[in-house]
């Protein structure tokens, strides 16, 4: 399993939110490149970038994203947040990202998801953001009334690059991961699982690895120093 630092962008800065609430910003690094170079010094090579403003339709951090993906050769970026049309998918993938992460429209429009997955096989990662067991969309603000297992079943035939499953109820709270949820996803889907939400300790990471996760996205615990970044990178940087 690989550990993947999160770089969440808001108003041009790198931030961390508590519990998926845009009103509960706990960490802010004004220059996202500073965050990237900090994690690179520890040895991380894969990064998950989210445009929070685009996710809510409140703006774009496209320039900051390009600065990140163009900064150094040989790094792997997954980029998402507000990717809801095919042109944006193409722009993200041609702009230096290895994977594009699609959430809201992928959940709501199965035909569109199938189209982009087949156009870009192995490079589309679907974000399934989960509160309890319900998949939520539109920057975690709208319920879909669909259980995670139902949503996963629809993805099985597609040539995806993976599933990014975020336990929103654990996000940013440093309270541990939703291990039963991640075990269920890993055991029921053939796709790579990228687990997110609540990673707090090395034991959380080891448990996710044992559960079958391919990657773990880490935010708050790294930015606050709760996790020793060097120790994480030594064991899980890939």
Q: How far is CA 148 from CA 109, 116, 127, 184, in A?
A: 16, 21, 11, 10
Q: Does residue 2 sit in helix, strand or coil?
A: strand
Catalytic annotation present for 129 = yes
Spot the catalytic one: 51, 53, 129, 204.
Answer: 129
Cα–Cα distance for residue pair 18/74, rounded to 1 Å: 31
Active-site residue numbers? 8, 129
């Amino acid at each position: 399993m690989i550990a993947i630092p999160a770089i969440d962008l808001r108003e041009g800065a790198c931030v961390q939110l508590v519990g998926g609430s845009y009103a509960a910003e706990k960490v802010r690094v004004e220059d996202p490149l500073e965050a990237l170079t900090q994690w690179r010094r520890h040895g991380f090579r894969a990064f998950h970038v989210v445009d929070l403003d685009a996710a809510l339709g409140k703006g774009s951090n496209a320039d900051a994203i390009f600065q990140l993906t163009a900064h150094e050769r040989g790094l792997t970026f997954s980029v998402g947040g507000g990717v809801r049309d095919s042109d944006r998918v193409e722009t993200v993938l041609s702009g230096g990202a290895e994977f594009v992460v699609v959430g809201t429209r992928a959940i709501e429009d199965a035909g569109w998801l199938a189209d982009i997955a087949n156009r870009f096989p192995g490079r589309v990662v679907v974000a399934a953001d989960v509160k309890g067991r319900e998949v939520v969309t539109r920057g975690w603000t709208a319920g879909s009334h669909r259980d995670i297992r139902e949503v996963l079943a629809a993805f099985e035939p597609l040539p995806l690059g993976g599933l990014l499953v975020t336990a929103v109820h654990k996000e940013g709270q440093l309270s541990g991961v939703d291990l039963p949820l991640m075990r269920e996803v890993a055991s029921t889907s053939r796709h790579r699982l990228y687990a997110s939400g609540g990673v707090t300790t090395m034991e959380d990471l080891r448990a996710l690895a044992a559960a079958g996760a391919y990657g773990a996205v880490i935010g708050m615990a790294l930015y606050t120093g709760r996790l020793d970044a060097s120790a994480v990178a030594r064991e899980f940087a890939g």
